[in-house]
Amino acid sequence: MNDKVIDIHKLQQYLPHRYPFLLVDRVLDYELGKWIKAVKNVTVNEPFFTGHFPQRPVMPGVLLLEALAQASGVLAFLTTGDDPTSQSIYYFAGIDKARFKRVVEPGDQVILEAEIVRTKRELVKMEGRALVDDVVVCTAAWSCVKKGDDSDS
């Protein structure tokens, strides 16, 4: 078994999100300062499906981007060695080049892959993709910024 697997219980130590907005179920692997691979299991019970769309449930693209950002927040905390606290959080700071290739539906398992492109002080620039059955469903570049503790200046 890979010793870098992070289950949902440990993930909740790194992410402040909770149901229904916690969009990462497990970290499969990572390399500090480089990349992370995580998973989001999509079920028909997701609350957004009741309105998006009742006749044909589709996961909103913005939530795919949020899932990628959440995975990258975990990588940022792992890389810096910081303890995530309510006073220290990585926030989604920006998004570029978001592209959606196909819809994500109930029953899909989304693999989230993100890599660090550049780090500058409290800002981390990332890029990545989401895949279902080895098919790319979304690509993007984004940035996260650490706020809290002594980084609020």
- Kind and range of the H or E element at 136? strand 135-148
**Rounded alpha-carbon distances, angstroms, from residue 80 to 16, 47, 110, 125:** 17, 33, 26, 14
Cis peptide before 49 (omega within 30 of 0): no
9 annotated active-site: no
Q: Which of 4, 17, 26, 52 does the annotation list as catalytic?
A: 52
Residues annotated catalytic, as ranges:
52
